[in-house]
Amino acid sequence: MQAIIHILKTQGDDIVRSIGQHIGLSLISLLIAAVIAIPLAILLMNHKRSANVMLQITSVLQTIPSLALLGILIPIVGIGTVPSIIALVIYAVMPIFQNTYAGLTTIDPNLEEAATAFGLSRRMKLFRIELPLAMPMIISGIRIAMVMIIGTATLAALIGAGGLGTYILLGIETNNNALLIIGAVLSAILALVFGAGIDWLGKLSFKKAGLVLLTLIVLIGGFAGYRKIASPATDITIAGKMGSEPEILINMYKDLIEHDHPNMQVTTKANFGGTSFLFKALKSGSVDIYPEFTGTVLESLVTGQKSASHNPKTTYKVAKNALKSQYQMAYLKPMQYQNGYDLAVTKPFAKKYNLKTISDLIAVEDQIHAGFDPDFHQLKDGYPGLSKTYGLKFASAKTMEPSIRYKAIANGKVNLVDGYTTDPEVQEYHLVVLKDDKHFFPPYQGAPLMTEKLLTDHPELRTTLNKLAGKVSTTDMQKMNYKVTVKHEKAAAVAREYLKSHGLLD
């Protein structure tokens, strides 16, 4: 609870902006879906067979998993708001179409007969009789679509459209339940508020409802237009994955570029999504630069390089060449810190047994009760391989959720955990990371990734971004992550502070 209040206090502005993005995305999608589905249902209300075909099509669209749909859309329309809206519209069309069609075709045939026998025009019959009678069904369809949209819109955060999903994904990514709750609760509240609004709209006459909708469209359009005009022209867009570390890095990139080239405008997009989305975004040109790990490049992005070397320099070289030959991408020099697996113990424990390296564990292996993340416990790159390389066999090794793992060592339930080298919890719980003296863990070094074309157009970027090459130690990164994740300082401020204190920025 305290964590939630703290986040609300420190990140209030960002949260309000996310709510605004979420509302904008949802409303626009809902409006577009309604504008497509309702007239379609009206057109097809007297054509049962076509209507059935249409129902089938919309149902099939419904079954496409949202992530797959986003994946399909990115190569076609890129990333950001547009594919999110398209995906949301595709999902929302079915309930609205189905309910409108059902509402229009289940009207008491006697009423239809009366309207026909009175010689009412098609138009009058529709607007005076049929639509008002179908209205409760149409409204419930719109409600269903709305709830679905607000829920699914959280996924928009994956492809850089922002919204409350940012907090949910970030919460999942960083095991921060407070963020997760903020995102989820606010989404639920939005759904409730929208539901009430839709009910209210359904009770109004056509004219009034139309007027309200028109006002909304103008407001959203105006706001979007204002944002477009107000946001400065951008030369370079730098994005980062979920979490504090990429956000700190992209702010460093931005500060360095704008410092060296004052006429260049850089826009950052933090918490942009997962690896594959970012990589697609880079390929499609929606994003110009993002920081990527050497290990991840070999593991997920390039083909034919599965057996990663345990030497950081070789790994970087292999990754760089593969990116160049397979994707015409430039991969600048990596920073010093490594964000890979590690083993950590508490400071008192390390002191007591004089532990500095993983090899030092061999002497005390009978006393080690380890808590491992399930992946680490099973992967060849994890405990099984480690145990083979170092000849280690701990007294016990339990698997547990990543966040619980750190709490377990803090509470003394276990005395050794795996982790990522730059995890802020190392600082938070005063842990000691043991040196991988046999270079067992595959190296994960961060470096800026961009297209070769960008570097051809702006060759000066190479010099600027290479200022970070070999800089930022693992401890530096841990400290910065701690400040942002635990102390909730702004990533931009933390990044600038680092650059200044290390003489990279005046």
Partner 1 sequence: MIEFKNVSKQYENNLALDKLNLTIPSQDFFVLVGPSGSGKTTTLKMLNRLIEPTDGNIYFDDKRIIDYDLKQLRLQMGYVLQNIALFPNLNIQENIAIQAESLGWSRKDRIARARHLLSQVDLDPDQYATRMPSELSGGEQQRVGIIRALAIKPKVVLMDEPFSALDPISRKQLQDLVLRLHRELKMTFIFVTHDMHEALRLGQHIAVMRLGHIQQIGTGDEIMQHPANDFVRGFFQNEHAPRPTTVQSLLDAGYGEATTAAATLTADASVSALAAALKQTTPVVVTTVQGPRALSTPDLLDYLAAKEAD
Footprint of partner 1 (CB under 8 A): 108, 110-111, 113-121, 124, 128-129, 132-133
User: Based on CB atoms, which residue is closest to partner 1, 122 or 313?
Assistant: 122
Q: How far is CA 10 from CA 74, 239, 353, in A?
A: 33, 22, 41
The residue behind tokens 């979920």 is 242
Please tell me the distance from the alpha carbon of residue 413 to that of residue 400, in angstroms, as a whole number: 12
Q: Which two tokens stand for residue 178?
A: 């407070």
Which run of H or E residues covers position 268? strand 266-269
Q: Tell me if 362 sits within 8 A of 416, measured CB to CB.
A: no
Nearest approach, Cβ of residue 109 and partner 1 (Å):
9
Please tell me the distance from the alpha carbon of residue 360 to that of residue 432, in angstroms, as a whole number: 13
User: Based on CB atoms, which residue is closest to partner 1, 205 or 411?
Assistant: 205
Nearest approach, Cβ of residue 128 and partner 1 (Å):
7
Nearest approach, Cβ of residue 207 and partner 1 (Å):
14
User: Based on CB atoms, which residue is closest to partner 1, 129 or 454?
Assistant: 129
Q: 88: closest CA among 136, 156, 180, 38? A: 156
User: Based on CB atoms, which residue is closest to partner 1, 38 or 190?
Assistant: 38
- The phi and psi torsions of 233 (rounded to 5 degrees) equal -60, 135
User: Based on CB atoms, which residue is closest to partner 1, 110 or 263?
Assistant: 110
Q: Tell me if 494 sits within 8 A of 246, measured CB to CB.
A: no
User: Based on CB atoms, which residue is closest to partner 1, 117 or 230?
Assistant: 117
Q: How far is CA 374 from CA 95, 152, 377, 425, in A?
A: 40, 29, 5, 18
160: left (phi over 0), alpha (psi -120 to 50) or beta: left
Q: Which two tokens stand for residue 79?
A: 């990333």
439: left (phi over 0), alpha (psi -120 to 50) or beta: left
What Rg, from alpha-carbon coordinates, does the chain have? 28
Nearest approach, Cβ of residue 136 and partner 1 (Å):
10
User: Distance of alpha carbon 422 from its chain centroid, rounded?
Assistant: 20
User: Based on CB atoms, which residue is closest to partner 1, 128 or 471?
Assistant: 128
Nearest approach, Cβ of residue 197 and partner 1 (Å):
22
Query: DSSP assignment of 385-450, as one string?
Result: HHHHHHT---SEEEE--HHHHHHHHHTTS-SEEEEETT-THHHHTTEEEEB-TT--SPP-BEEEEE
Nearest approach, Cβ of residue 132 and partner 1 (Å):
4
Nearest approach, Cβ of residue 10 and partner 1 (Å):
52
Determine how β-strand 396-399 pairs with β-strand 369-372. parallel
Nearest approach, Cβ of residue 126 and partner 1 (Å):
12
User: Based on CB atoms, which residue is closest to partner 1, 120 or 188?
Assistant: 120
Nearest approach, Cβ of residue 104 and partner 1 (Å):
14
Q: Let me know if 484 is exposed, middle or buried by CB neighbors in 10 A (0-12, 13-18, 19+).
A: buried
**DSSP-assigned beta bridge partners for residue 309:** none
With a CB cutoff of 8 Å and minimum separation 6, the contacts of 381 are 341, 441, 442
User: Based on CB atoms, which residue is closest to partner 1, 124 or 193?
Assistant: 124
Nearest approach, Cβ of residue 201 and partner 1 (Å):
16
The residue behind tokens 């379609």 is 40
Please tell me the distance from the alpha carbon of residue 299 to that of residue 307, in angstroms, as a whole number: 9
Nearest approach, Cβ of residue 224 and partner 1 (Å):
36
Which run of H or E residues covers position 78? none
User: Based on CB atoms, which residue is closest to partner 1, 125 or 143?
Assistant: 125
User: Based on CB atoms, which residue is closest to partner 1, 125 or 496?
Assistant: 125
**DSSP-assigned beta bridge partners for residue 434:** 343
Express the helix, strand and coil content of the chain in percent, nearest 5 each.
65, 10, 25
User: Based on CB atoms, which residue is closest to partner 1, 71 or 202?
Assistant: 202
User: Based on CB atoms, which residue is closest to partner 1, 31 or 129?
Assistant: 129
Nearest approach, Cβ of residue 149 and partner 1 (Å):
28
79-89 in b/e burial notation, b at 16+ Cβ within 10 A?
bbbebbbbbbb
Nearest approach, Cβ of residue 134 and partner 1 (Å):
10
